[in-house]
Amino acid sequence: MKITSFEQYEQAYKQSVEQPEQFWADVADNFTWKKKWDNVLQWNFKDPDVKWFSGAKLNITENCLDRHLEKNADTPAIIWEPNDPTEDFRILTYKQLHDKVCQFANVLKNNGAKKGDRICIYMPMVPELAIAVLACARIGAIHSVVFGGFSAQSIADRIKDADCNIVITSDGAYRGNKDIQMKNVIDDALVQCPSVKRTIVLTRSRTAVSMIKGRDVWWEDEIKKVETQGNPECPAEEMDAEDMLFILYTSGSTGKPKGVVHTCGGYMVYAGYTFANVFQYNPGEVYFCTADIGWITGHSYIVYGPLSQGATTLMFEGVPTYPDAGRLWDIVAKHNVNILYTAPTAIRSLMGFGLDYVKDKDLSTLKKLGSVGEPINEEAWHWLDDHIGHNKCPIVDTWWQTETGGIMITPIAGVTPTKPGYATLPLPGIQPVLVDENGKEIEGNGVNGNLCIKFPWPGILRTTYGDHERCRTTYFATYDNLYFTGDGCLRDDDGYYRITGRVDDVLNVSGHRIGTAEVENAINMHSSVVESAVVGYPHDIKGQGVYAYVVIPDMHDSPDLTRKDIIMTVSRIIGPIAKPDKIQFVSGLPKTRSGKIMRRILRKIAEGDTSNLGDTSTLLDPAVVEEIKQGALK
């Protein structure tokens, strides 16, 4: 399954296009199946209907845990580094992790969980989060992990959409110098969620929480019950390859976030295959991904990908700037990290603190570096290369999405020649095409277009939970027979791919996907707001910042106070991650005669480029543009 030279890459790529079923069957043979498949692939992108390995039976946790026990029971599976560097770190070997997953799977069963149930997980980055995720998979329950930065309202929306019956959370969480009240947030969410019959609460910060009789139980008490029952094993539920494994919500250009659905067989194969290849993982190496398990990167490249390959994965509870901006490098030195997978926004933020935080750190164990989540600017790429990798570590700039399940376009570490800012070449099995607005394929090199994929891969999303039509219209209806990514892309003269950013109304703020419509809806909830329009603008650290144009005809307080109120409203409706960076009050928005907001103009003004706003003659009220230009925020 592992490609170790560029010649092998080229051969594998060719085979994957000419004989895709054979190619993927060979990859899938590296995993443990309770029963092999009847068909490798059945598909059409019209409905869409994609099935990988149908007829096969498996449980992903047998691949992530049980199969490593014979030879690698004592290999560290998870190294956990706490938020506070003076607190003890933890190591869980494969045997220990297996036992804890079985134990918690039995807790879930004792609390009424069954195969097919949807379970919401809202937890800090502690090993118990990975244990909870795997325990769901063990019994065939579908997990829906919600990132800790989302509000009660966002959690409630997700719980209701998936009709979850159990929530797993913790009393509180530590992140940097913040103490976050997680259970309180869940309590607020659950006011709206009668479907939830049980909340299991882990003790982390032992902050005071309300515990409702009949609904809320402590994780630790439930573990004790399982121990006294004397039944440490939990057999892995037999799952069909196409049974749902998890739902993960992500933002699009319209409406509320949608629940991207991944299934057991294909997702497992794709997460494992990409992890082994992209990072060229070798046994004994320590791999550290700085993402949160609340995002797809954490699902695929902290939990499922590394564990399916028997790797040692490091989980970090805190943030890169606590207690100071040298924290990531301290972790690398403390745990002898060999592979570091992080995000451009983290790199740019650490660059800003200067080299003092890097210069005395022992980074000699590092062998490979990775980047994900947004385009990496050349300056950040070179900083990583020079000061962290000391020009000896290949950097893999990995392009992919929640919907793709795993990495799609990327260098293979040490195999693919890299170029700063370029995700380089598609992995074997991935067939990217660039198309123009009419869906016509743009062939050849030195071209720009909208990035689509023309053939399925095992990690492709199967549906959006509860709304298959939305999946079809969002991804498969823009262009016939193509999966549309929403990204713009350049293919240079060497055939290398460079992702240029979203071409739809989706923002990428610090690597987090945020829909402009979602933020607008939240701003419009503020009692004085009549209307708003949100666009992105270039931000030195976040990549993109959130710029909001807001119409308030009758402002009761000072503009400053009103801005704070709007920010608070957005925090409460979506979560702190969606807070606008800039709010400009305007008397009206530039609209066409049919009432459509001209976002192109607003984007240009937010970017500070007011010289050429293009044709404004079709606007209902061209004067408003002048006013907005004059009041633009720097």
Q: Scanning the structure block, which residue is given the tokens 């003269």?
A: 493
Nearer of residues 298 and 590 to ligand PRX, judged by Cβ:
298
Return all residues near 134 (Cβ < 8 A) that are at least 6 apart.
Answer: 61, 64, 65, 97, 101, 303, 307
Please give the Cα distance from 375 to 277 (Å, whole number).
21
* Residue 357 C-beta: closest distance to ligand PRX, Å: 25
Nearer of residues 9 and 483 to ligand PRX, judged by Cβ:
483
Residue nearest to ligand PRX (CB): 402
In 3D, which of 464, 462, 435 has the Cα closest to residue 451? 435
Residues that bind ligand PRX (CB under 6 A): 250, 296-297, 372-375, 397-402, 423, 485-487, 499, 502, 508, 513
* Residue 431 C-beta: closest distance to ligand PRX, Å: 17
* Residue 477 C-beta: closest distance to ligand PRX, Å: 18
Please give the Cα distance from 183 to 168 (Å, whole number).
10
User: For residue 151, what are its two tokens?
Assistant: 């509000």
In 3D, which of 581, 516, 515 has the Cα closest to residue 249? 515
In 3D, which of 587, 590, 592, 617 has the Cα closest to residue 603? 590
- Name the residue type at position 585: F
* Residue 374 C-beta: closest distance to ligand PRX, Å: 5
Nearer of residues 103 and 398 to ligand PRX, judged by Cβ:
398
Nearer of residues 372 and 471 to ligand PRX, judged by Cβ:
372
* Residue 403 C-beta: closest distance to ligand PRX, Å: 7
Please give the Cα distance from 188 to 196 (Å, whole number).
13
Whether residue 507 contacts residue 501, with contact meaning beta carbons closer than 8 Å, is answered with: no
* Residue 532 C-beta: closest distance to ligand PRX, Å: 23
* Residue 339 C-beta: closest distance to ligand PRX, Å: 16
Nearer of residues 140 and 370 to ligand PRX, judged by Cβ:
370
Nearer of residues 94 and 399 to ligand PRX, judged by Cβ:
399
| Radius of gyration for the chain, computed over Cα atoms and rounded to the nearest angstrom | 24
Nearer of residues 215 and 382 to ligand PRX, judged by Cβ:
382
State yes or no: cis peptide before 48, omega within 30 of 0: yes
Please give the Cα distance from 502 to 530 (Å, whole number).
28
Nearer of residues 121 and 409 to ligand PRX, judged by Cβ:
409
Please give the Cα distance from 233 to 256 (Å, whole number).
40
* Residue 373 C-beta: closest distance to ligand PRX, Å: 5
Give the DSSP H/E element, type plus range, for residue 524: helix 516-524
* Residue 13 C-beta: closest distance to ligand PRX, Å: 19
Give the DSSP H/E element, type plus range, for residue 515: strand 512-515
3-state secondary structure string across 405-458: CCCCECCCCCCCCCCCCCCECECCCCCEEEECCCCCECCCCCEEEEEEECCCCC
Cα Dmax for the chain = 77
Nearer of residues 485 and 532 to ligand PRX, judged by Cβ:
485
User: For residue 468, what are its two tokens?
Assistant: 């298959």
* Residue 619 C-beta: closest distance to ligand PRX, Å: 30
Nearer of residues 295 and 549 to ligand PRX, judged by Cβ:
295
